[in-house]
């Protein structure tokens, strides 16, 4: 008996490629990173495991919201995506999708995310989703990205919205702890993204995007990363008294913070020479740092309040 897989018809191949292109338009790896913070936030807000269906609805709504914002970003930046080596394989840059298809898809995801959250979660979560999309599209992509090296700093506000959406989904309001979580993501974004910008500095320069490493020397970038690293770690410690965090989170925040700051100083020391040899080490390390921190945020209330 032959075990050879049946050949797909051209129509099925075309549909599969199209579906894959739309999926890639949403920048799924970015969405995955954003949603890492949502579930732990919901657990902390609940001081336990929230309703499973509420968690699922919030995650789906948040993914739709982020997918819409990212699709609009690809639509607006199609011209520079064709220039940059890091982005030239995106669906609009390759011609896999037309700009009209991307535009309609982005609008569809955005409307669906707001309606989904309004119906299945609550109106505050839906309003925050809408605010995140509008901020990312109009403030970051259209206003700041091509005009100022502070683009990624303020653009981080949109990436910080998932924690507010998660908190609002559980409590229907935004407390001081929710805003500290927002601050953590906001301060994490620059020292996370600037190492990537260092790696692809020539691409950004060619595309005319004034990322900090393009318009400032390496030493200045290194200093800025250190300053944000210290501010970030300080914000993680603020969560301890404000959210009544226990020993697991406290020790994790301190240990992970020491590591993150030391890695930032390592990059700074390299910046004093003519070349930063491995900027992506801090980029990838920052993802691990955020993941570990939010895992601790999820575990800590489950154990801490069980022992009270």
Q: Please tell me the distance from the alpha carbon of residue 221 to that of residue 142, in angstroms, as a whole number.
A: 24
Q: Please tell me the distance from the alpha carbon of residue 306 to that of residue 290, in angstroms, as a whole number.
A: 25
Q: Please tell me the distance from the alpha carbon of residue 292 to that of residue 287, in angstroms, as a whole number.
A: 9
> How confident is the model at residue 13, as a pLDDT?
54
Question: Is the CB of residue 268 less than 8 Å from the CB of residue 225?
Answer: yes
- Which candidate, 276, 112, 289, places its Cα nearest to that of 197? 276
> How confident is the model at residue 308, as a pLDDT?
46
Global pTM reads: 0.91
Question: Is the CB of residue 74 less than 8 Å from the CB of residue 90?
Answer: yes
> How confident is the model at residue 274, as a pLDDT?
66
Average pLDDT, the chain: 91
Question: Is the CB of residue 193 less than 8 Å from the CB of residue 152?
Answer: yes
> How confident is the model at residue 69, as a pLDDT?
94
Q: Please tell me the distance from the alpha carbon of residue 77 to that of residue 91, in angstroms, as a whole number.
A: 12
Which phi and psi (to 5°) does residue 138 adopt? -85, -40
| CA gyration radius, the chain | 21
> How confident is the model at residue 67, as a pLDDT?
94
In the chain, the domains with their CATH numbers are: 18-307 (1.10.600)
Q: Please tell me the distance from the alpha carbon of residue 30 to that of residue 130, in angstroms, as a whole number.
A: 18
Question: Is the CB of residue 21 less than 8 Å from the CB of residue 95?
Answer: no
Question: Is the CB of residue 63 less than 8 Å from the CB of residue 161?
Answer: no
> How confident is the model at residue 5, as a pLDDT?
46
Q: What is the residue-level pLDDT of the chain in tens, covering all 308 positions?
A: 444 445 555 555 577 788 899 989 998 887 787 778 999 999 999 999 999 999 999 999 999 999 999 999 999 999 999 998 888 889 999 999 999 999 999 999 999 999 999 999 999 999 999 999 999 999 999 999 999 999 999 989 999 999 999 999 999 999 999 999 999 999 999 999 999 999 999 999 999 999 999 999 999 999 999 999 999 999 999 999 999 999 999 999 999 999 999 999 999 999 887 678 889 999 999 999 999 999 999 999 988 655 44
């Amino acid at each position: 008996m032959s075990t050879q897989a049946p050949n797909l018809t051209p129509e099925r191949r075309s549909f599969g490629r199209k579906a894959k292109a739309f999926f890639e338009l949403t920048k799924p790896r970015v969405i995955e990173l954003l949603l890492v913070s949502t579930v732990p936030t919901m657990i902390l807000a609940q001081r336990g495991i929230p309703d499973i269906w509420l968690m699922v609805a919030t995650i789906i709504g948040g993914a739709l919201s982020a997918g819409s914002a990212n699709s609009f970003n690809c639509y607006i930046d199609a011209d520079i995506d064709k220039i940059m080596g890091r982005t030239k394989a995106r669906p609009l840059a390759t011609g896999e999708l037309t700009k009209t298809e991307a535009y309609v898809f982005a609008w569809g995801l955005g409307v669906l995310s707001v309606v989904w959250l309004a119906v299945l979660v609550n109106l505050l979560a839906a309003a925050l989703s809408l605010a995140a999309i509008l901020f990312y599209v109009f403030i970051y992509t259209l206003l700041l990205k091509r005009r100022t090296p502070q683009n990624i700093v303020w653009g981080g506000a949109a990436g910080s919205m998932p924690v507010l959406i998660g908190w609002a989904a559980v409590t229907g309001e935004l407390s001081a702890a929710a805003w500290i979580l927002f601050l953590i993501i906001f301060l994490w974004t620059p020292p996370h993204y600037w190492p990537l910008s260092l790696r692809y500095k020539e691409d950004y320069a060619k595309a005319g995007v004034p990322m900090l490493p393009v318009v400032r020397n390496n030493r200045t970038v290194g200093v800025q990363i250190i300053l944000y690293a210290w501010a970030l770690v300080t914000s993680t410690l603020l969560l301890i008294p404000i959210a009544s965090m226990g020993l697991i989170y406290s020790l994790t925040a301190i240990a992970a913070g020491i590591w993150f700051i030391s890695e930032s100083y390592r990059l700074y020391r390299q910046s004093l020479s003519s070349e930063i040899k491995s900027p992506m080490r801090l980029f990838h390390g920052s993802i691990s740092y955020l993941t570990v921190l939010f895992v601790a945020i999820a575990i800590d209330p489950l154990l801490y309040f069980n022992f009270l």
